[in-house]
Amino acid sequence: MLELARGKISTLKDQLSVWQIAGLNIPAELIRLHDEAFTAFAQAAVIQDQLEECSELAGVALQKAHAAAEMLVQIYARQRLTILHQRSQSMKLPVSLGCNLGEFIPNASEGKQICQAFDAANIDLKAFTEEFYYRITLSHLQPVLETLKWLKQETDVWFEITNLVIPQANDNDSEFQQMCDWILKEVGPDVPLHFSAFHPDFRMRDRGGTPPETLVRAREIALAAGLKYVYTGNVNDVARQSTYCPHCQQTLIERNWYQLGKYALRGHRCGYCDTEIAGHFSDKPGDWGQKRLPVDIQAILKKNAASQSGNTEPQKGPSTMQTNQSPQIIELSSDQEQALLQQAAAVVAGTVT
């Protein structure tokens, strides 16, 4: 429980950083929930040898962090809708913020407005059993399925599905079959499905990576079930990362990770047999490939600060996070500080070893 609380608080911190870069206000209630989550976690870290008390405090920390994350996403969504209304319906949400809407299930009207701000969306369907969702993610399968159906039936947003295949967890043929049958029935054959390889990193290092043949088998099951666009990911497999015409089977988009090769689309149609191909395509393929774009966060913060003050010139000095109240400074005892240092050292050691 302590590890789960630490992970959720860390994720919340990352989300707040993105919030800051976007120049959005941080509500006082959100700061309070974050502080309470951190305090409970710090207290739990000190008494790890007292299992019952530690678990109870870690549970409080996890609950507070979840509440803060939910509030962050809901307020963010409503602020972005206000901006969309005031400026332009064509303005798009930043990807780094948009991806954080996963915990927010809007009402029908508001949800459709949010989806108008996206070019596309990816939904992680992590498994197809309730047991996996509850045991591994502390969540539930049904809300994910309902979200997929809602996106298909109630919106025009283009979405794709990703299934991370984890050995001894969600990699059996029966589960692949059930999942693919459900996708075909509920969201249709044109929704792309990606089977991605698991790598033993971060917090799950008790098993090996996904064998490539497991991904190949999952893809074959999906294609046999009637899905038209099925891919493997996180592996070197050009043939199964590429897009084929579902009618004539010719290669239409050749992919090697982020690098595009052959491109045989004419608009939204197959360049060989003129079959319509599902998807959102530009007039010509992109050429960005595997290049990297450096991001200067400090420059972004200065630009936001200058824009909010009405001054087009960059402001000198460090930019600060806008808040409705100053964050509370939490005083820790020496024991708490030592416990947190030990926790941080464990994270670093786990990352580099």
- Burial class from Cβ neighbours inside 10 Å (0-12, 13-18, 19+) for residue 64 reads buried
Q: Angle 212-225/173-186 helices, nearest 10 degrees? A: 40
- As a whole number, mean pLDDT of residues 152-181 equals 95
pLDDT digits (tens, 9 = 90+) for 343-352: 544 544 443 3
Q: Which residues of 162-179 are buried (b: 16+ CB within 10 A; e: fewer)?
A: bbbbbeebbbeeebbbeb
- pLDDT band for position 175 (cuts 50, 70, 90): very high
The Cα–Cα gap between 277 and 272 comes to: 12
Q: Residue 3 pLDDT > 70, yes or no?
A: yes
The Cα–Cα gap between 324 and 343 comes to: 31
What local confidence, expressed as pLDDT, does residue 126 receive?
95
What local confidence, expressed as pLDDT, does residue 246 receive?
97
Select the highest-mean-pLDDT range: 32-41, 87-96, 206-215, 321-330: 206-215
pLDDT digits (tens, 9 = 90+) for 309-320: 655 444 443 333
**In percent, how much of the chain has pLDDT > 90?**
36
Helix (H) or strand (E) holding 68: helix 51-86
What local confidence, expressed as pLDDT, does residue 65 receive?
87
Q: Is residue 26 classed as helix, strand or coil in its secondary structure?
A: strand
Sign of the dihedral through C-alpha 114, 116, 119, 121? positive
Mean pLDDT of the chain: 78
What local confidence, expressed as pLDDT, does residue 209 receive?
95
pLDDT digits (tens, 9 = 90+) for 66-86: 888 878 777 766 666 565 555
Q: Is residue 20 classed as helix, strand or coil in its secondary structure?
A: helix
pLDDT digits (tens, 9 = 90+) for 113-136: 667 767 788 999 999 999 999 888
What local confidence, expressed as pLDDT, does residue 328 receive?
41
What does 189-201 look like in DSSP terms, one character per residue?
TTS-EEEEE----
Measure Cα distances from 317 to 306, 314, 324 in Å: 12, 9, 21
- Burial class from Cβ neighbours inside 10 Å (0-12, 13-18, 19+) for residue 198 reads buried
pLDDT digits (tens, 9 = 90+) for 271-296: 999 999 999 988 888 887 877 766 66
Q: Residue 244 pLDDT > 90, yes or no?
A: yes
The Cα–Cα gap between 225 and 99 comes to: 29
CA 341 centroid distance within chain: 28
- pLDDT band for position 154 (cuts 50, 70, 90): confident
What local confidence, expressed as pLDDT, does residue 144 receive?
92
What local confidence, expressed as pLDDT, does residue 4 receive?
77
- As a whole number, mean pLDDT of residues 205-226 equals 96
**In percent, how much of the chain has pLDDT > 70?**
69
The Cα–Cα gap between 77 and 113 comes to: 10
The Cα–Cα gap between 87 and 223 comes to: 44
Task: Tell me the residue ranges of DSSP E strands in the chain.
Answer: 120-124, 158-165, 193-197, 230-233, 243-244, 251-256, 259-263, 265-266, 269-270
Q: Residue 96 pLDDT > 60, yes or no?
A: no
Which of the residue ranges 69-78, 94-103, 184-193, 259-268 would you say has the lowest mean pLDDT? 94-103
